[in-house]
């Protein structure tokens, strides 16, 4: 998969994308992520890419020309068939389900805004989808683009050691993940649950499922309600949920 990030701060993005799991995935050719500086397409001697908003108001607005020219160059003047996502607090909130769908695509372009945002006309001209990473406002689209690139990249074949690393994780389905523990077995008087040291895989699996359901009920009951409404809960999950709600089980 190829992901292009159009940004005024490519070094900021590169610093993150060169490290850890994503850095290794790029080095191994599992994902091709490139950052392009919109300012390189300013087309004026002061390299300006923003201007005052028509109609007045505070802040500056990114001009449509440099963004379009950057997009046009990156997409090889229309030769590449890309899906362009503008990161904006006005977009649809990002979910793991949407991440899974986007990971199926071959060619993504992520547009980062800055200042007060970008001229509406370039959104109309080139943007296919608008995504928000949450109901709060950041200074720029770089962190949201990195969030998106990271969440998509880790779903690509070979990036994580095995598929279970994400299929058993929070939000892949309708449950949050169970609590995780590692060595030492006792820390500050807190012990690792005995079942995890038992070596009985059946019991460990059951305990983890119970913990997942209990945790989701406590922290994200909306996920369970949606799964119930769409009939996604397994019989085992529904039984655990019923026992928790009726007070029969305390997990």
Contacting residues toward ligand SAM, per CB under 6 A: 87-90, 112-114, 116-117, 132-134, 136-141, 144
- The CB-of-138 to ligand SAM minimum distance in angstroms stands at 4
Q: Between 95 and 242, name the residue whose CB sits nearer to ligand SAM.
A: 95
Residue 185: CA atoms inside 13 Å, Cβ hemisphere, count? 6
Q: Between 133 and 213, name the residue whose CB sits nearer to ligand SAM.
A: 133
Specify the 3-state DSSP secondary structure of 144.
helix
| β-strand partners of 61 | 51
- The CB-of-167 to ligand SAM minimum distance in angstroms stands at 26
- The CB-of-141 to ligand SAM minimum distance in angstroms stands at 3
Q: Between 50 and 237, name the residue whose CB sits nearer to ligand SAM.
A: 50
- The CB-of-178 to ligand SAM minimum distance in angstroms stands at 29
Q: Which residues neighbour 188 within 8 Å (Cβ) at sequence distance 6 or greater?
A: none
Q: Between 141 and 173, name the residue whose CB sits nearer to ligand SAM.
A: 141
What whole-number distance in Å separates Cα of residue 209 and Cα of residue 135? 31
What whole-number distance in Å separates Cα of residue 223 and Cα of residue 4? 32
Peptide bond before 78: cis, by omega within 30 degrees of 0?
no
CA distances in angstroms from 142 to 17, 61, 87, 91, 112, listed in the order given: 11, 16, 8, 15, 6
- The CB-of-22 to ligand SAM minimum distance in angstroms stands at 19
Q: Between 142 and 210, name the residue whose CB sits nearer to ligand SAM.
A: 142
Residue closest to ligand SAM when measured from CB atoms: 113
């Amino acid at each position: 998969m190829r992901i292009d990030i159009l940004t005024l701060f490519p070094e900021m993005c590169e610093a993150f994308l060169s490290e850890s799991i994503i850095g290794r995935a790029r080095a191994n050719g599992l994902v091709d992520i490139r950052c392009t500086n919109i300012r390189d397409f300013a087309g004026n001697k002061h390299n300006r890419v923003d201007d005052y908003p028509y109609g007045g108001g505070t802040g500056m607005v990114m001009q449509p020309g440099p963004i379009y020219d950057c997009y046009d160059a990156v997409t090889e003047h229309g030769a590449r068939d890309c899906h362009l996502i503008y990161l904006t607090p006005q977009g649809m909130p990002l979910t793991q389900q949407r991440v899974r769908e986007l990971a199926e695509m071959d060619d993504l372009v992520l547009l980062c805004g800055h200042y007060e945002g970008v001229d509406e006309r370039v959104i109309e001209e080139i943007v296919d989808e608008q995504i928000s990473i949450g109901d709060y406002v950041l200074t720029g689209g770089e962190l949201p683009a990195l969030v998106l690139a990271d969440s998509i990249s880790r779903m690509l074949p070979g990036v994580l050691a095995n598929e279970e690393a994400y299929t058993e994780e929070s939000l892949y389905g309708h449950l949050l993940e169970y609590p995780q523990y590692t060595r030492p077995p006792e820390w500050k008087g807190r012990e690792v649950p005995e079942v995890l040291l038992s070596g009985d895989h059946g019991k460990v699996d059951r305990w983890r499922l119970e913990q997942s359901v209990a945790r989701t009920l406590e922290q994200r009951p909306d996920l369970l309600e949606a799964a119930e409404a769409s009939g996604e809960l397994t019989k085992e999950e529904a039984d655990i949920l019923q026992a928790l709600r009726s007070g029969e089980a305390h997990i």
